[in-house]
Amino acid sequence: MGNRTFAIIKPDAVRNGNTGKIYDRILQADFKILAAKLLKLTKAQAEGFYAVHKQRPFYEELIDFMSSGACMILALEKDNAVSSWRESIGATNPEEAAKGTIRKDFATNVQKNAVHGSDSDENAEKEIGFFFTESELIANQ
Ligand code: CMP
């Protein structure tokens, strides 16, 4: 299993003032933050990042939401990072997320679900590469 994953604190959570509380969860779960950027995604960036969902009925609304305000973009490191982060964030739909997970505690609904997490090691590397150069992962140096 890989040791890196990619995370986004989404516009709903940033707007609601939950960035610091979600950082606490990240650090309490023993992730190392390799890199972080506060970014307002362009529509083109959001479309490129979520291209895999292009055929889904919720795609256009997802792009509008993800480009609607600042996002905190993160590269995280920990053993089994992908599965560990997915466990920390909980199910996509906060109504189905386990107690104590980030989405249960901070998400608004299935779209405005507070955070993103990569679903595989392969996608984690792709997603980190979408927003960061290798030299920006400064905790590695
Ligand atoms: P994320 O884990 O970032 O991956 C795809 C995103 O699409 C997901 O989080 C939600 O923000 C959004 N999404 C997934 N399913 C739905 C749905 N049924 N309706 C609206 N948005 C969704």
Helices (H), 29-132: 43-49, 59-66, 81-89, 102-106, 121-131
CATH topology of domain 4-136: Alpha-Beta Plaits (3.30.70)
137 φ, ψ (degrees, to nearest 5): -85, 75
Digitized pLDDT (tens) for each residue of the chain, 141 residues in all: 679 999 999 999 999 999 999 999 999 999 999 999 999 999 999 999 999 999 999 999 999 999 999 999 999 999 999 999 999 999 999 999 999 999 999 999 999 999 999 999 999 999 999 999 999 998 655
CA distances from 39 to 9, 69, 105, 132 (A): 10, 8, 23, 12
Residue 138's pLDDT is what? 80
Residue 47's pLDDT is what? 98
Write the DSSP symbol of residue 13.
Answer: H
Active site residue 53: no
Can you read off the two tokens belonging to residue 85? Answer: 């982060």
| Binding site membership of 62 for ligand 1 (Cβ less than 6 Å) | yes
- Taking the centre of ligand 1 as the mean of its atom positions, its distance from the CA of residue 95, in whole angstroms, is 13
Residue 13's pLDDT is what? 98
Residue 27's pLDDT is what? 97
- CA triple 134-34-105, angle to 5 deg: 135
Q: Which of 28, 48, 35, 25 has its CA nearest to residue 5?
A: 35
**Strand pairing report for 70-77 and 4-9:** antiparallel
* Closest-lying ligand 1 atom to the alpha carbon of residue 115: 3
Residue 140's pLDDT is what? 55
The continuous run of DSSP H or E covering 39 comes out as strand 32-40
Residue 48's pLDDT is what? 98
| Helix (H), strand (E), coil (C) string for 53-75 | HCCCCCHHHHHHHHCCCEEEEEE
Given the residues 25, 78, 112, 116, select the one marked as catalytic: 116
pTM of the predicted protein model: 0.96
